[in-house]
Amino acid sequence: MASSRKLLLTLFTSTTCSLCSEAKRSLLEIRKVNQARCQKYVFDIPVLYINDKFVMQHRIDQPRLLELLKGASKST
């Protein structure tokens, strides 16, 4: 993910569209992957990722986070 904002995906479909059914299945698979990641950390929250990369958990180290955010914004 290139942005730290939450993304909203809207998929327009019809009941007679086979490509729509395939697209829905693909999105559900991605959702399952994210749910699995949540289960991985169920007892170790909070967990912070930047651009889909683990950066820290439990306590937020503000100076380190600011450093990571500066680096992430330069690379996007």
d(CA 56, CA 48): 5
Phi, psi (degrees; rounded to nearest 5) at 52:
65, 20
The model's pLDDT over 23-62, given as tens digits with 9 standing for 90+, comes to 999 988 888 877 877 788 888 888 888 888 899 999 999 9
pLDDT of residue 3: 45
d(CA 42, CA 39): 5
Above 80 in pLDDT, residue 8? no
pLDDT of residue 7: 61
- Give me the sign of the Cα torsion angle 20, 10, 36, 67: positive
Instruction: Give 3 or 9, the one with higher predicted confidence.
Output: 9
pLDDT of residue 58: 92
